[in-house]
Structure 1
């Protein structure tokens, strides 16, 4: 008879091996275990059971020699072996894993998310109740005391500097002021006047929004901005976001207009793609338009809460690579004429792929939605009641979602962004990126 500790556990918490075969555990108790097999096994010398240790983020392996096969059961698709086990280490680990899993389920079911995280990974849940009252206060606080202790501008002599224009206010300000006065406004607006990086000349502007289709300028305004950039000797990169079916014709028409402008002005531009369908729209236009891989296609784990994950500190070097570090993938992109990739500074050190690439600072996106949560909140008072927004009233020009202070996050238009000041404080980390392929810094203040 199986005792009342009998339980089914997720395979990630406890697993079992006989020889080199990993077997599915059907149920487990402090003196029993039932295993599923697809064929009979003869001559079992030992059983290895591996238990996950919550507090240490590792597995405890126990080799069991003192066991007894109670019975075998044949079902239509598999066989079940039931063993009686007489091993105190096994028994203690079963009790421990059942207790930890019970605590996990109880917290997940009845506790708040922050209580659950505090108990499981020491997340500072008490900090979740502290918010900024205003977006401007948040920006000012984040930029306070950010500076380089050591700075050598000769190290960055090969770096180009760009600024991202990604909303209606920025488009209008640039048209009204020109690049030099716009940069003065930009620096004052974001409290970054004392930082040495912002003493450098801007040689390129990014126009458009990689996350929201409603924040791309209309074609008339876009061409005016591009005309002004040419007049001022500024290079141009256009940023496009996802490509929905209902937007294909409009986007195609815009790209045809952009290409005609390039031909007329004999001007090459870059175009950031965040949807593979964009490649079809710019086909046969590569004499003037160069595709660049956007941050939505440069996928990696990015979240300010990731540092609380079990095992993050000991294994964060494993996060440094992503698909772009694969030679096979880079060769695929090269065949598509994509040689520049857009990176975001995102709280941990990345291994930059071979080539010359761009890095955006200080914001990075953690989540984005084609169905805007801010619009849903402003119209329905329910951020979950989302829909595709075509004719947008631009609530994001006045409102943003607030998040706890310690996370340095904000919900801006249809996306969630986090602030990473690493490259604004650690000059030699920035130097390391430059030494490994970053030749452009893109300022993307909100």
Structure 2
């Protein structure tokens, strides 16, 4: 677009005549050409406006299909263009931040990681959902995913999908799934003593997954990373307990030798290879095991995420994507309407069945079409209803880095000093000391 304007401007400068009579004759065609070129750069010319939807790259076709479905359902009032963001969460956030900081009015709908709404809302880059739009956005929507989209009491996005971890295990090695971390580590030690596969696969690399592991354990122990107003760290005995469990696993026979480098997909591959007995991971591992190792799939089972205490259920940290409307959009009303369409029953069902992304609409978990492909649907729903969320703050990136860097590698964790260090770093982050990544 900018290049077209520059070319047209240069054409006018080069063609500028010395006599006024010739000036008019030559400038009019140039202006006509400029109008045609600018029209070609617009959002559809005389046709319906184009709503630009920026979201994670989806190889299943579910997102592209949703854009097509909603374009058709609009009855010609708008069309949705799905733009793929980079594959990594950091790359996605970076591109959106750059566009919004420049007040890009072509950003209409955004798929935000559940950790971003607070940051984007505080920067006034996204619009709140109010009135009838808010009512429709919250109807039949699970409460915990809605919490990720809320900041200072206002709803700033609508949950598109969600995610939660379960305990996956081999029934040929473990006839009854462990209920707590202590039971699971004891079972792993006994399997190791017998010379059987015994690893507990979990995300131990120095990245967001390590923060999620710690946050889940802290919440499961009855604590939280931040206080209720997100103004100060709230780390205490539950955090020390969480760090102690992480270290206990890391120095036990249950630890995969690659623990400090492992992410979700490496966990999946290790389980599929037959070297592990347990895996803490998202539901995408189920269809993957079915396709990659049918023999082992016959013994692949699921159970609730293990608890820290036997009398307190675990509170896994959820993931997912929330749809937000750009504050500089030229088509705000249509963008709100389109976002609701993108996350309707049909499109959430398709995303679940094709992409393995758990829906945020409660009623879908009783739909036979979902249960057929998601035999663990009831466990996912139960997990989502008692789930925890990541620390909700505009400074989340710094908070996450403080946690993942301090606790890496897990085998070197010194629980009490490390928790104190994390607390100091979070205090600095909340006071905007240091650089925001």
Q: Which has the higher strand share?
A: 1
Q: Into which bin does the TM-score normalised by the smaller protein fall?
A: under 0.3
> Structure 2 length as normaliser, TM-score?
0.28
| Higher RCO by CA contacts (8 Å cutoff, separation 6 or greater) | 2
Larger radius of gyration: 1
